[in-house]
Amino acid sequence: MTWQPTATIETLKQRAEIIAKIRDFFAKRQVLEVETPLLCSGSVPSPYIESFQVGNKYLQTSPEFLMKRLLAAGSGSIYQIGKVFRLEESGRLHNPEFTLLEWYRVGFDHRDLMKEVNDLLQMILHCEPCEAITYQALFEKYLQINPHAISESELKACARAGGLTTIELQDKDDWLNLLLTHFIEPHLGVDKPCFVYDYPVSQSALAKIQIRDDGIAVAERFEVYCQGIELGNGFHELADSQEQLARFEAELVVRKVNHQHITAIDRRFVESLDHLPACAGVALGIDRIIMLVLGKKSIKEVMSFDFQRA
């Protein structure tokens, strides 16, 4: 046991400088900084995210719901840098408590927002402009499969052929995520950051849906990677309360089948969506970005105290 911080004091000074640059980035664009509560009455029902409960409240896994309520109330474009909490294992890229940069741009779609994320990353990482590739093209490039058309049994066979012989999963999206993390993600953003967009509709409960010219329905969502690390997740935001409620309820069915805690739906958030202006939003992991900027091997090296020392 030790009382010492996990990051050096010099690293913490550098961290503060980077965060100051981020605030200046948004100040120059007249994007308002806001704060929202950490304890919330509802939480995200995604089967892939588990929340910390405190009494009858949840520690926020993202400030998204409350920030969208501000947008619905007429705040205009906003951003927030704050703590979020997810009940997960600690690791090189994960800590149950971490710092998130989340922002929403009124009048933007996801493609407009990708351009602004590119500007921010170039400013912080001093990198080349980001490249972009569709989710489908990514799987075709690295695994020679079409993720929208392939069957679950074929995905399982693909995983087995790649050496993943002992894993059993429940649905198609789980297999796609397995193949993505094991065989594709390590190649993403090696030379320059990389956007992946046009995700399957089933993986994007909070995004608008688009029917492409080839007839395939995709979510207007993107993720951005650098050096094989996922940095953020963005959406052209859904603004339909009934559609959002139906998607949440479908996710709760999955949680029930998986014997997971049935998370309370944030009804205030759902109600606010009918007043949400056209906008796009994105969340970036501050700790991961700082790790890359400073050339550290683990996010705990850029946190004052990680989960084990807190």
List pLDDT tens digits, range 129-165: 999 999 999 999 999 999 999 999 999 999 999 999 8
pLDDT at 231 over 80: yes
How much of the chain, in percent, has pLDDT values that exceed 90? 95
The DSSP-derived string for 209-249 is EEE-TTS-EEEEEEEEEETTEEEEEEEEB---HHHHHHHHH
pLDDT at 266 over 70: yes
Q: Please give the Cα distance from 285 to 121 (Å, whole number).
A: 12
Does 35 map to a domain? yes
- At residue 251 the predicted structure's pLDDT band, cuts being 50, 70 and 90, is very high
Count of domains for the chain: 1
pLDDT at 105 over 70: yes
What pLDDT does 255 receive? 94
pLDDT single digits (tens) 162-180: 999 888 898 899 999 999 9
pTM as predicted: 0.95
Looking up residue 47, the CATH number of its domain turns out to be 3.30.930.10
Domain residues for the domain of 110 are 9-130+264-302
Does 149 map to a domain? no
Question: And the tokens for 267?
Answer: 């009804």
Does 110 map to a domain? yes
Side chain identity, residue 135: Y
Q: Please give the Cα distance from 168 to 144 (Å, whole number).
A: 22
Q: Please give the Cα distance from 23 to 19 (Å, whole number).
A: 6
Does 96 map to a domain? yes
Question: And the tokens for 107?
Answer: 């009048």
Does 111 map to a domain? yes
Does 285 map to a domain? yes
Instruction: Give the residue-averaged pLDDT of 39-58.
Output: 94
What pLDDT does 1 receive? 66
Instruction: Give the residue-averaged pLDDT of 184-203.
Output: 96
Q: Tell me what the pLDDT averaged over the chain comes to.
A: 96
- At residue 79 the predicted structure's pLDDT band, cuts being 50, 70 and 90, is very high
The DSSP-derived string for the chain is ---S-SS-HHHHHHHHHHHHHHHHHHHHTTPEE----SEES-----TT--PPEETTEEE-S-SHHHHHHHHHTT--SEEEEEEEE------SS--SEEEEEEEEEET--HHHHHHHHHHHHHHHH--PPPEEEEHHHHHHHHHS--TTT--HHHHHHHHHHTT--S---SSHHHHHHHHIIIIIGGGTTSSS-EEEEEEEGGG-TTB-EEE-TTS-EEEEEEEEEETTEEEEEEEEB---HHHHHHHHHHHHHHHHHTT---PPP-HHHHHHGGGPPSEEEEEEEHHHHHHHHHT-SSGGGGSSS-TTT-
- At residue 2 the predicted structure's pLDDT band, cuts being 50, 70 and 90, is confident
What pLDDT does 180 receive? 97
Q: Please give the Cα distance from 48 to 15 (Å, whole number).
A: 29
Does 230 map to a domain? no
Does 94 map to a domain? yes
58 and 42 in contact (C-beta within 8 Å)? Answer: yes
